[in-house]
């Protein structure tokens, strides 16, 4: 199960993307998220997908490992697509299909595809960040970007550490869930038959051990940090200081060019299905 979860895992490599400054990668991911939500036509999505493919190609991460990140939200993507397909409608359209309050129209097909592509691009782009950035560098990058908040006594280091630990333990909790499910099935538990309420009730034997395990891991982690004299950001120094390089400038220019291209396509592009 652990190998099937891409989000939150780090894939070691010596690639162009791995060597980028974590601050730049975080800012470029934010820019990419803004980019996919300002797209208004499929030509713009072609630019966004090409940019994502370029990032994956220069990351050294296997393509299927990035694609597997979609599994976690596949159900959400399908439900979102169906709801928008049946409920979105613009005034004056002739529907292909109509029943009661549900209708399939050209605009609903287009809007549903847009939402699905946005969700897929969002998750895959975020996975590229976590797959190419260690939790330590990710923490340093977040802390550096939020440094101005220290002026108002905001616990920037602690927040960055919590976010980094949360990302790190996503694969671990998924692996623990799989182990608990296997153990319950060996004891005769049935998670697939019955109605909806029966299936929800059958999840209780999974959730309780999982919550107990999560609290136990958190307690053990806290004790390990205390035993190593961890005191937060007070008087802490960095083993490796973050520095910007030519790779960061190249990556920034590429994303900026894609952003300009999408804006131009929004203005001059043709909306086609």
- Which tokens go with 156? 């920037």
User: Which SS3 state, helix, strand or coil, does residue 95 take?
Assistant: coil
Host domain of residue 81: 2-268
Higher pLDDT, 20 or 7: 20
Average pLDDT of span 125-142: 87
Q: How far apart are CA 134 and CA 122, in angstroms?
A: 20
pTM here? Answer: 0.78
**What digits encode the pLDDT tens for the residues 29-65?**
999 999 999 988 888 899 999 999 999 999 999 998 8
Give the model's confidence band at 271: pLDDT under 50 very low, under 70 low, under 90 confident, else very high. low
**What digits encode the pLDDT tens for the residues 40-49?**
888 889 999 9
Q: How far apart are CA 241 and CA 4, in angstroms?
A: 33
* 148 domain residue, yes or no: yes
Give pLDDT, residue 254: 95
Average pLDDT of span 176-190: 82
Helix boundaries (H) for the chain: 22-38, 42-57, 63-67, 74-87, 106-132, 135-145, 156-186, 196-202, 204-227, 246-268
* 113 domain residue, yes or no: yes
* 214 domain residue, yes or no: yes
* 273 domain residue, yes or no: no
Answer whether 135's CB lies under 8 Å from 21's CB. Answer: no
Give pLDDT, residue 30: 94
**What digits encode the pLDDT tens for the residues 230-267?**
776 666 667 777 888 999 999 999 999 999 999 888 88
For residue 196, pLDDT over 80 is answered with: no
For residue 133, pLDDT over 50 is answered with: yes
DSSP string, 139-207: HHHHHHHTGGGGGGT--HHHHHHHHHHHHHHHHHHHHHHHHHHHHHHHTT--SSSS-HHHHHHHTHHHH
Instruction: Count structural domains, the chain.
Output: 1
* 84 domain residue, yes or no: yes
Give pLDDT, residue 95: 75
* 32 domain residue, yes or no: yes
Q: How far apart are CA 235 and CA 245, in angstroms?
A: 27
* 159, 163, 168, 169: CA torsion to nearest 10: 100
| pLDDT above 70 as % of the chain | 90
* 260 domain residue, yes or no: yes
Q: How far apart are CA 246 and CA 253, in angstroms?
A: 11
């Amino acid at each position: 199960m652990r190998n099937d979860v891409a989000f939150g895992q780090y894939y070691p490599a010596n690639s162009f993307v791995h060597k980028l400054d974590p601050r730049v990668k975080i800012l470029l991911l934010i820019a990419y998220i803004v980019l996919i939500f300002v797209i208004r036509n499929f030509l713009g999505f072609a630019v966004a997908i090409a940019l994502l493919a370029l990032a994956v190609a220069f990351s050294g991460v296997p393509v299927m490992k990035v694609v597997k990140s979609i599994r976690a939200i596949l159900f959400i993507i399908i439900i979102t697509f169906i709801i928008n397909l049946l409920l979105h409608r613009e005034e004056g359209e002739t529907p292909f299909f109509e029943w009661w309050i549900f209708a399939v129209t050209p605009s609903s097909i287009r809007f549903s595809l847009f939402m699905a592509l946005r969700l897929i691009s969002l998750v895959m782009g975020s996975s590229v960040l976590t797959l190419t950035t260690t939790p330590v560098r990710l923490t340093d990058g977040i802390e550096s970007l939020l440094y101005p908040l220290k002026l108002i006594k905001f616990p920037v280091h602690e927040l960055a550490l919590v976010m980094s630990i949360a990302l790190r333990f996503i694969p671990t909790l998924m692996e623990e869930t799989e182990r608990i499910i296997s153990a319950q099935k060996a004891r005769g538990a049935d998670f697939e038959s019955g109605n909806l309420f029966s299936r929800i009730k059958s999840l209780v034997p999974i959730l309780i051990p999982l919550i107990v395990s999560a609290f136990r891991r958190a307690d053990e982690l806290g004790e390990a940090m205390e035993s190593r004299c961890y005191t937060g950001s007070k008087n802490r120094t960095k083993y490796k200081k973050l520095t910007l390089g030519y790779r960061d400038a190249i990556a920034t220019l590429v994303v900026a060019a894609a952003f300009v291209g999408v804006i131009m396509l929004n203005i001059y592009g043709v909306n086609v299905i």
